[in-house]
Amino acid sequence: MAWQSIVAWYDHRGGASYDVYAQRVLGSGMVDSRWPENGRALCTARNDQRNPVLVPDGRGGALVAWEDARESARRSVYAQRVLGSGSIAPGWPADGLAVAPDPGARRPALAVDGRGGAFVAWEDDRSGDANLVARHLTMDGVLDPRWPARGRVLCSAPGEQTGLVAEADGAGGAVVVWEDFRQEPSIPRSATTDGRCARRRDSS
């Protein structure tokens, strides 16, 4: 298969607020003619949508998550799936799926699940300090019902947990690592698709 890439960004073309767009770039350096010339709108909801992150969905498209201020200036996290054809995937809301609808969610990270869906982890400051929470999304735009309704808490230790990075573990789950200010070393933690968590440690 020829090289190709989907990129996402936020811009101010509407004048009133920032929105999230994506584009598919071919190996020739040209944009895919099936996509709108100036990008596919992933979210044009009111107020700002910023800081998108994305991962390939393994089927030619991509999953994108971002910070969203449509309900509050403190922001929430939404996600969208776009197909390789440039269309929004069936079952996904036009302006994205509310992954963390409560204000106080920021800096999402994504990891694929190997089945067209993804894990979304984010920093959550609803309790004051920044803690880490995650949810699992299916390829059809459904929040996995096996996971807690407000997300699986990965870490709620005292102090800030920030700078998270998520990566698929190759077995249907994800590994999430972060910078931790509880005065202990950072602890990698993994999450399986049913929402169970397990700390990842080496033999030492």
DSSP letter for each residue of 102-171? SS-EEEEEEEE-SSS-EEEEEEE-TTSS-EEEEEEE-TTS-B-TTS-TT-EEEE--SS-EEEEEEEE-SS
41 within a domain of the structure (yes/no): no
pLDDT classification of 74: cutoffs 50, 70, 90: confident
36 within a domain of the structure (yes/no): no
Please give the pLDDT value at position 204: 25
Q: Could you list the residue range(s) of the whole structural domain that residue 128 is in?
A: 52-199
For the segment 20-26, the average pLDDT, to the nearest whole number, is 97
14 within a domain of the structure (yes/no): no
Between 180 and 108, where is the model more confident? 108
168 within a domain of the structure (yes/no): yes
Count: domains in the chain: 1
Lowest-pLDDT range, 54-58, 118-122, 147-151, 196-200? 196-200
204 within a domain of the structure (yes/no): no
